[in-house]
Chains A and B, each alone.
Chain A
Amino acid sequence: MKPEYDLLVVGGGPGGALAARTAAEKGLRVGLVEKRSAIGVPVRCAEGVGRDLIEEFMEPDPAWISAEIDRAVLVAPDGYRMTLEPSMAGSEVGYVLDRKRFDRDLVLQAADAGADVQVRARAVAPIMENGAVAGARIEANGAVEEVRARVTVAADGVESKFARWCGIETAVPLAEIETCVQYLMTGIEIDPAATVFYLGNEVAPEGYVWVFPKGERTANVGVGISGKKCRDGSRPLDYLNRFVKEHFPDGRVLEWVIGGVPVCRPLERTVADGLVIIGDAARVADPITGGGIYNAMFTGRLAGQTAADAIAHGDVSANALMAYDRGWRTSKLGKSLERNYKIKEYFITLSDEKLNRLVHSISRMDLSKFSVLGIVTELVKHDPSLLLELRALRNIL
């Protein structure tokens, strides 16, 4: 790292990479630090993403696509399966990525655009000046150096310590962390073009089990549950082992993926003087699906753009950077985060019996588009008995 940049990015995930790339393309001097020894590993992700969402940022590259997905299958607690076919699958049709390659490629794009990148370099504290963030102290190879920056981007993912060190509360409530374990399994019978979601309090309380194909007989098989349901004997690992024993007893495990996804509301404020917070660090993953790759890239790009504007106008105060906060909150993404949070709050109250009814109802509907909003809207229209159940949701749709 040089001693000074226009923009310093803390964290080399998809969010940080997009912030760095965007700012470097706009001619800013950009530095990015990543504390791990390698970009993208170990993987902390099920790697599913909508096709059109990725295409918003770049051309899909077969090098980081493990599988193309044509349909999604929902499995009710009673075992009833309903398939969401291409015509109705809309934005959920997508890819299962190879995030080791994907994340690395994104950081490479930032470097190609002119950003300095350093791995095994960890931000250990912000540089504070008159209450404003003015860069970070970076520890690398046993030495700590000051790296000054006009704007610093906290892209440090689920841990989100950097913003905390700047005085912004980022702790996730226990009930709102999805705690997850996933196996990369091979030698299993799957539909290689379908993502499968298992619902139910027996398989995954306040969460779901996913099977995301990575090849003909290979898939990410994982489970996420609410932190409040997690105890000795009923941790995600216990649920996963039970699921695998029942469904894929002969499968072999090539890799463990462990992690947490915040499904709380986004931070109340995602900027401060000289600071912008993006991606998982800003708590912008989807509260229902836990998907956060696109959300990190979207907020990262917006952060890069806003920082470039602010620097060009010579004002990097929280006030000037609020354009970023307003920008994502009023975007399609921001609105769907708010709506899906409320829908999640409703879904987690459902008993298995009600979940069964929901999935059976969905399967009788003629869905032109598979989205959470589409499903819930159709449910309200088609099943009068569910209307009562869902009335809590009506005013938000």
Chain B
Amino acid sequence: MLVIRRDVCGYCGCCVSVCPVGALELIDAYLSVEGDCTRCGVCARACPLGALEVADEA
């Protein structure tokens, strides 16, 4: 799953723009990830602050 570190995220929308499947959505200061995330990790690469991480499925 995609882990969003909310204490780090600056809700800028950069990750939203690069997600190939449009799985991210930003509402004010709250970033959410939807079911169709493929865990490709592109968003985690683009984040200016390093707030995203693709974690192994538990």
Residues of chain A touching chain B, judged by Cβ–Cβ distance below 8 Å, are 35-37, 42, 44, 122, 157-161, 164-165, 170-174, 177, 179-181, 227-228, 230-232, 235-237, 256, 258-260, 262
Q: What are 29 A-to-B residue pairs whose CB atoms are below 8 Å?
A: A36-B28, A42-B11, A159-B26, A161-B22, A171-B18, A171-B22, A174-B18, A177-B17, A179-B47, A179-B48, A181-B48, A227-B45, A228-B45, A230-B45, A230-B48, A235-B48, A236-B48, A236-B49, A237-B49, A258-B10, A258-B11, A258-B12, A259-B14, A259-B48, A260-B12, A260-B15, A260-B17, A260-B48, A262-B17
Residue of B nearest to A170 (CB): B17
Residues of A within 8 A of B20 (CB): 171
Number of interface residues of B (CB under 8 A): 23
**Is B16 an interface position by the 8 A CB rule?**
yes
Residue of A nearest to B10 (CB): A258
Residues of B within 8 A of A37 (CB): 28
Instruction: Tell me what chain A mostly uses at the interface: helix, strand, loop, or mixed.
Output: mixed
CB-based closest 7 A-B pairs: A260-B14, A258-B10, A258-B12, A159-B16, A236-B48, A227-B46, A259-B12
Which of B11, B22, B46 interacts with A177 by CB under 8 Å? B46
Whether A237 touches B22, Cβ cut-off 8 Å, given contacts A171-B17, A179-B14, is: no
Which of A36, A180, A232 interacts with B50 by CB under 8 Å? A232
CB distance from B55 to the nearest CB of A (A): 14
Residues of chain B touching chain A, judged by Cβ–Cβ distance below 8 Å, are 10-20, 22, 25-28, 42, 45-50
Residues of B within 8 A of A161 (CB): 16, 22, 25
Extra contacts, 11 of them, besides A36-B28, A174-B18 (Cβ < 8 A), are A158-B17, A161-B25, A171-B20, A171-B22, A179-B46, A181-B48, A231-B45, A256-B10, A258-B49, A260-B17, A260-B18
Contact check, A158 vs B14: say whether CB atoms are below 8 A apart. Answer: yes
Contact check, B13 vs A157: say whether CB atoms are below 8 A apart. Answer: yes
Q: Kindly state the separation between the CA atoms of A42 and B9 in the bound complex, as whole angstroms.
A: 13
Residues of A within 8 A of B18 (CB): 171-174, 177, 227, 260
